[in-house]
Amino acid sequence: MSPRLPASAGRWTVLAVVCAAISVVVIDVTVLHVAAPAMTEDLKPSAISLLWIIDVYPLVVAPLLVASGALGDRFGRKRMLLVGLVIFGVASALATAAWSPLVLIAARAVMGVGGALILPASMAIVRDAFEDRNERRTAVGIWSATMAGGAAIGPLVGGFLVEHWWWGAVFLINVPVVLIVLPLGLKLLPESRAQVPPPWDTLAVVLAGVGILGLAWGLKEGARHGFTQPLTLVVLVAALSALTVFARRQLARAEPLLDVRLFADRAFTVATGVVLLSMFGLVGLELFFAQYLQLVLGLEPLAASVRLLPLMLSSLVGGLTAARLLGRLGTRTTVAGGLLLTTIALVPLLALGVEDQYLLLALPFLALGFGLEVALVAANDVIISAVPAERAGNAAAIEETAYELGGGLGVAVLGSILAAVYSDRLQPVPGVSDGAMAASGESLGRAVEVASGLPRTVGDALVGDASQAFLSGLHAVVIVSVAMLAVSAVLAAIVLRRTTYEAAGDEAVEAPADTPAAPQPRVAAR
């Protein structure tokens, strides 16, 4: 069903309200990155509990997105977005008052439920409101810049609030934002839903949830403890089996809950992979660099977040200029070029040490944020344009699943790699007991805490060795990210065709770079 815009709301006003709604959700993905040390000092979570506090939010969001997209198609995307905001606001208030790691993990999980309802609806509303392809590319660029900018500004917001208030304020700030956006959304957002939504499929929802969450958990545990552990292998096999049954079940149905036939379009498949791998690298690296700035360099939260500012600003610039680049260069060049720039930008970061090297951080961050955001906007344009507005919920669910799962896996897998290298490289320090060394081996934050109770010379030696061990882990994470992004750039350059866009209209034309453009059929949702 075509969206009915309220008389007072033009499509750009709708975009502004949608961006305001998603900003609070995506900021929450990274707002804890700078606040983590202060939170650790107060709640004293273990290293694994800390990862779950940060990671449970995207890992809850990801498996619920398929169901959320289908619910939006059936009951209305505006309704899902507003209900999600209410849940998100209530859970944020609970997180503010969390008195233990377990309570905070639970609150973050409920926030993930709210986020899962908001995100696919936001993208589907944008797809509905902008029928012209050229305008839609610009709108997607702004939407994507809000997503990346929100994730990038999270540490800045967190740093300011922690330094001037306390770590719980990073959640409390969500409440007034939700209270402002709710009435605006109720008045200004159009309602839209699929004219003939597919039949609800409870088993498919369960299979998708089990498969995605099991895959995330298995990769997380495998990266930390090895993939030969029996429990890890069982979970991974079960997750892949659940996803296989889910896909076969959808292919067998005339009206599937999620049209997996979309993946027959190779551009759609590659674009989805680009979103997943890009967020895998970006969110994980941002968390670990925030810890590096505070725990290794000793910067205050606000000063640390300022060091991350170039990443935020370049992400915003990339999102706002990506539509023009996409129109001039085409899909393949924009995606592959953005990923290549991101890969190159990460290499200098391998030279980071225990001294504050502002330019060595700032210049790569500028290139990293810009390149990654340009690639993400181009990939989002492919995904959102692959289906008619009637099935916008399908494309939105797939894109957001890739986005959230990529971010969640980035923290989980890269964090597990960093933790494993850190523990391996941290050797016994003279004057430190075995128990203290065991505690220090959990994380750099714990090592700093242990050192504060030791004689100064011994404590300084422990912090120095722990910082070097953390740097070894950080370098390993950067190397893994470089390899993944480089492979993604090569695959995008090989698999994607050059895409040019007609000056006016909504059609894209794909052709090999060395041949004249010729119309090609695009797979549409059925």
500: which strand partners?
Answer: 509
User: Half-sphere exposure (CA, 13 Å, Cβ side) for 498?
Assistant: 11
pTM: 0.70
499: which strand partners?
Answer: 510
Question: What is the separation of C-alpha 162 from the centre of its chain, rounded to a whole number of angstroms?
Answer: 23
- pLDDT at residue 237 in the model: 92
Q: Is residue 518 one of the residues assigned to a domain?
A: no
- pLDDT at residue 508 in the model: 45
- pLDDT at residue 47 in the model: 66
10-residue averages of pLDDT along the chain (526 residues): 50 86 75 70 73 76 78 82 91 86 88 86 80 76 72 67 76 84 85 72 85 79 74 90 90 80 80 81 73 80 76 79 81 88 90 80 87 84 69 69 74 79 87 84 81 86 88 89 86 70 41 38 32
Q: Which domain holds residue 139?
A: 11-201+253-511
Q: Is residue 128 one of the residues assigned to a domain?
A: yes
**Whether the Cβ atoms of residue 353 and residue 389 lie closer than 8 Å to each other:** no
What lies within 8 Å, CB to CB, of 514 at 6+ separation is none
Q: Is residue 5 one of the residues assigned to a domain?
A: no
Q: Is residue 162 one of the residues assigned to a domain?
A: yes
Look up residue 409 and give its two tokens: 């896996």
> How far is residue 159's CA from residue 152's CA, in Å, rounded to a whole number?
12
> How far is residue 329's CA from residue 338's CA, in Å, rounded to a whole number?
11
- pLDDT at residue 110 in the model: 92
Q: Is residue 258 one of the residues assigned to a domain?
A: yes
**Count of domains forming the chain:** 1
Q: Is residue 146 one of the residues assigned to a domain?
A: yes
CATH of the domain at 179: 1.20.1250.20
Q: Is residue 112 one of the residues assigned to a domain?
A: yes
**Whether the Cβ atoms of residue 121 and residue 395 lie closer than 8 Å to each other:** no
- pLDDT at residue 388 in the model: 65
Question: What is the separation of C-alpha 293 from the centre of its chain, rounded to a whole number of angstroms?
Answer: 21
Helix, strand or coil, per DSSP, at residue 508:
strand
> How far is residue 272's CA from residue 258's CA, in Å, rounded to a whole number?
15
Q: Is residue 207 one of the residues assigned to a domain?
A: no
Taking each continuous run of H as one helix and of E as one strand, the counts in the chain are 20, 2
